[in-house]
Amino acid sequence: MGRELKNIMTLYYLIKLDKKIPTDNKKNKARQDRKVHKIMQKAYTIPFYRERFEQEGLTPEDFHSAEDLGKFPITTRADLRSWMDDVFRNHQDQSKHWEIFKTSGSSGIPLRFMVTHREAACVNANWIRVTMFGGYHPFRGKMLSFLTTHSKVDPEKGDSWVQKLGILRRKIVPEHLYVGEGMRDLIELVNDYKPDMLCFRKNVLLRMATYAKQHDMEIFQPKLYTPVSEMVDDLTRKIFLETYGPGLLDAYGCNETGSAAVRLPGSDVFYVNSDTHVINLVDEEGNLSNSGRVIATTLYKFDFPIINYEVGDRAESVTRDGIRYITRIIGRTNDMVKHANGTETSAIEIMKMPNGITGILQFRYIQESYDKITIMLVKDPAPDTASKEEIEAFYHKKFLELFGYDEFQLNFIWLDEIPPDENGKMRCFICKIKE
């Protein structure tokens, strides 16, 4: 499929998808349930999923709602990798119909997976309408985005004739070039371009905000801005609202599923894109719950469907007229502080600590060993915040309260900024203890 045909397909799917969040939950729920049955009918024809149906003694007739997916086996990252590798190995003759994607590997071993050109067009349309939920107009608006969002775009090329007419305007930034003092250039670029929408990784937005505060600079506040690829913690959210204004569009998903949910500016919940996705949560026993592990299903991928996929996050939710809303995305399930006695504590507990004191702009924890944790911090230069000494004392007190005794030697490193990982992301917790 050429670019022109793919663009036509993207426009076709964009026309079909919701451009505003539906207000009739009962009608929305009925549509989602119909799509669940349809995707399970398709999955039954795919050997990878057919085997799972047969193992559980199920057929597509057992699936007529999002809740019915609780009967179906969970698909792990390892399961998906095995299936994708098998298809790639045995069906090379079909590769001209695929687009190959790879995850960054920030949560473990990188994953290679395929989508057909039709699915890729729907992924693009889904992302466009997510921005439209927030009020962005894709044809009249002006977007500033980082390079990997549009990996096939040449950032050195000037505006096309269409963009010169004021249509589909966007500037693509190779964000890896803007580090250290390069942050000033990036801020000046944002201020000069004045985008309607700013679409950077969370850590880039945070480093920009940190640099601006340290150097007494102002950053243009776009109508919308969205942190890509990384979860926004409470401390970062507060900094973003202070720096970039109220237009925070918080999209949730992963490379494998596309954008599955979105929290609009001013909203306290994530709306699940129920015409394209189901998000269920399961507890430790694997039962459907309002709090637990995130299990996602795509309703638009009929060639390589993703069904009951364990994303690797934990979340909390409420259900209104059968439609699930995510109230809180807690974070990665595999980020665990490890103890010498073999037990583990969720890293979420230490990630919440910066909310209890002023003076911290950025943080990262590195568990070096069973008895040592390095805490990397960036100081807020504002005069009415806690000092470095007070922050370190605060951490010692909180670690003592959490673990009950001085289990860890805390090593503090103060930086002007915390650099991203090699893959461009920035994990807030890293454990170096080998399994």
**pLDDT tens by residue, 350-391:** 887 887 888 888 889 999 999 999 999 999 888 888 999 999
Q: What 8-state DSSP symbol labels residue 181?
A: T
Residue 246 in this model has a pLDDT that exceeds 60 = yes
Mean pLDDT across the chain = 87
Q: What is the per-residue pLDDT for 106?
A: 46
Average pLDDT value for residue range 239-253: 95
153, pLDDT greater than 70: no
Confidence label for 151 from pLDDT (cuts 50, 70 and 90): very low
**pLDDT at site 107:** 44
Q: What pTM was estimated for this model as a whole?
A: 0.80
With cut-offs at 50, 70 and 90, classify the pLDDT of residue 98. Answer: confident
* pLDDT surpasses 60 at 156: no
**371 neighbors 407 (Cβ within 8 angstroms):** yes
Pair type for strands 270-272 and 372-379:
unpaired
Instruction: Name the pLDDT band for 268 (thresholds 50, 70, 90).
Output: very high
Residue 275 has pLDDT above 70, yes or no: yes
How far apart (Å, rounded) are the C-alpha atoms in residues 415 and 426? Answer: 15
Winning range, highest mean pLDDT, from 98-112, 198-212, 267-281: 267-281
Across 55-64, 176-185, 220-229, 244-253, least confident range: 176-185
- Residue 426 pLDDT exceeds 90: no
Backbone angles phi, psi at 145, to 5 degrees: -135, 160
Which CB contacts under 8 angstroms, 24+ apart, belong to 145-149?
Answer: 145/170, 145/171, 145/172, 145/173, 145/199, 145/200, 146/172, 146/173, 146/174, 146/175, 146/199, 146/200, 146/201, 146/204, 146/228, 147/172, 147/173, 147/174, 147/175, 147/176, 148/424, 149/199, 149/228
Residue 420 has pLDDT above 80, yes or no: no
pLDDT of residue 323: 92
pLDDT for residue 301: 93
Quick one: average pLDDT of 76-102? 85
Identify how many contiguous H helices and E strands the chain contains and give both numbers. Answer: 11, 19
Buried b (16+ CB within 10 A) or exposed e, 12-21: ebbeebbeee
Q: In terms of Cα–Cα distance, which of 358, 119, 90, 123 is closest to 242?
A: 358
Distances (CA, A) of 248 to 128, 240, 263, 373: 16, 8, 8, 32
Q: What angle do CA 293, 344, 379 make, to 5 degrees?
A: 90
